Amino acid sequence: SAELEGLRALVTGGASGIGLATARLLATRGAEVAVLDLDPRGVEMPLLGFAADVSDDASVRAAVASAASALGGLDILVNNAGIGAAGTVEDNDDEQWQRVMDVNVLGIVRTTRAALPHLRGSDHAAIVNMCSIAATAGLPQRALYSASKGAVLSLTLAMAADHVREGIRVNCVNPGTVDTPWVGRLLGAAEDPAAERAALQARQPHGRLVLPDEVAAAVAYLAGPLAGSTTGTALAVDGGMGGL
Ligand code: NAD
């Protein structure tokens, strides 16, 4: 359906995985879509690619301005860019903590700050942040990643409160284990990737990994006009693993 016809969307981290699936689905539903990523050269038409690093404020401001100008404004911002980290509090040093918080949390702050003046010009403004079940599930070996996504969840609720009266909705999606290149890299590092994949699937309550398109569909719903009365929520797409 053309539910998002006439809307203009920017997806960070949109050159791979969940972000790419989301950018494609938003376009399929009728939106005009720009992707912001470290290296968006592989992104195909009709998606527009803009290079930026969400940990670099100047590059974010330049890319958001270029995207808004190419699209003629912005209605939807999907803050999806993020990086992972494994380990307990003893395994990551201060520099690793600062790096992951900088990308996963401050990346959203920077992109949102740059996008808000454009979103204020929209009649259907929506922000969707990519969070994770790690925000609430208490996963082992994910101290830093979980703390970063816990911050994304709290930030989503605070942003929703701050901007609801100016007509900007803010929600987040909490995926479980999604079959993206990210998870492919983790499996590829295992001794027996096929056995590791089977074990990972067996740990999912619904017996398989979450599909990127399933996460994209949740984002598209929260970003669209039919979610017009929904703000400050987290939508779990986790096969029953541990959502809110
Ligand atoms: P991915 O690695 O396949 O894609 C991430 C994209 O973000 C890449 O294109 C990468 O270039 C981009 N990116 C990374 N750092 C960036 C930066 N500093 N500036 C701009 N772009 C940057 O990963 P994915 O699995 O699609 O994950 C996307 C989001 O979903 C992340 O926020 C992640 O935390 C979240 N998530 C993933 C899973 C999962 O199981 N894959 C589960 C829950 C949440």
State ipTM: 0.99
- CATH code assigned to 8-175+211-235: 3.40.50.720
Smallest CA-to-CA distance from 26 within 221, 220, 211, 237 is with: 220
Q: Residue range 144-170: average pLDDT?
A: 98
Regarding the beta carbon of 51 and ligand 1, being less than 6 Å apart is answered no
Q: Residue range 4-28: average pLDDT?
A: 98
Q: Hey, what amino acid is at 144? A: L
3-state helix, strand, coil in the chain (%, to 5): 50, 15, 35
Ligand 1, atom nearest to 130 Cα: 32
Residue 202 CB neighbours (<10 A)? 9
DSSP H stretches of helix in the chain: 17-28, 57-71, 94-101, 107-119, 134-137, 143-163, 181-188, 193-203, 212-223
Residue with the nearest Cα to atom 11 of ligand 1?
38
Regarding the beta carbon of 181 and ligand 1, being less than 6 Å apart is answered yes
CA of 192 to the centre of ligand 1 (A): 24
Q: Residue range 60-74: average pLDDT?
A: 98
> What's the rounded Cα separation, in Å, for the pair 109 and 12?
12
Mean residue pLDDT across the chain? 96
CA of 104 to the centre of ligand 1 (A): 9
**Residue ranges per domain, the chain?**
8-175+211-235, 180-209
CA of 165 to the centre of ligand 1 (A): 30
Smallest CA-to-CA distance from 5 within 225, 227, 222 is with: 225
Regarding the beta carbon of 238 and ligand 1, being less than 6 Å apart is answered no
Q: Which residue has the higher pLDDT, 184 or 8?
A: 8
Dump pLDDT digits (tens) for 79-138. Answer: 999 999 999 999 999 999 999 999 999 999 999 999 999 999 999 999 999 999 999 999
Strand, coil or helix: 196? helix
Flag whether pLDDT at 243 surpasses 60. Answer: no
Choose one of 55, 156, 178 to mutate for the ligand 1 pocket test, by most ligand atoms within 8 angstroms of C-beta.
Answer: 178
